[in-house]
Copies of this chain bind each other. A is one copy, B any other.
Amino acid sequence: MTTHHPVTVTASPGVPYVDIVREFEAPVADVYRAYTEPELVAQWLGPRDLAMDIQEYDVRAGGKWAYTHTDPAGTPYGFSGVFHSVAPDRIVQTFEFDGYPGHISLESVTFVDLGGRTRIEVHSVYQSQEDRDGMVASGMERGMTEGFERLDDLLEAAAVH
């Protein structure tokens, strides 16, 4: 039976940050692969009821990424950005939602080796308090929680091992 750890989301008042912490019952190398290989990313990132189409996912400094989530009614939601830096324990990238163009955030994902288990720490910083608050109000947490549960399942499946 797959273990689904809780997600901790911190969005304190008065600062434009969102911090997310989540543990996984899998080695850091597997979690890292699931974050960096587009064919794996497509299998877990986002809520279950959205179709995922990755246009590009070039995981290197200066590489671009772009994907579209499409809901059951056929409405597409596009996301894109560029990778600033890609290290074995940390990836830093920009993020923009095409429904709110021109509002960009900077996101870092740190992979902490817990010895056969992994903790990821996501730190996002927005260009304004309003941008941050809007992202939190958009249902980000639900989509992420569901995505991480799908990632648990993927990590347990043979694909990643």
- Measuring CB to CB, which residues of chain A are less than 8 angstroms from any residue of chain B? 14-16, 61-64, 81-85, 90, 92, 94, 96, 102, 104-106, 108, 123, 125-127, 129
Contact = CB atoms under 8 A, between A and B. Distances in A.
A90 B102 CA distance: 9
A102 B104 CA distance: 19
A55 to B, nearest CB: 13
Q: By DSSP majority rule, is chain A's interface helix, strand, loop, or mixed?
A: strand
Given A61-B64, A62-B64, A106 B82 contact: no
A94 B64 CA distance: 13
A83 B82 contact: yes
25 contacts: A14-B14, A15-B15, A15-B16, A15-B129, A16-B16, A16-B125, A62-B63, A62-B64, A81-B84, A82-B82, A82-B83, A82-B84, A82-B94, A84-B96, A84-B104, A85-B104, A92-B104, A94-B94, A94-B106, A104-B108, A105-B106, A106-B127, A108-B127, A123-B127, A125-B127
A147 B123 CA distance: 32
A104 B110 CA distance: 14
A81 to B, nearest CB: 7
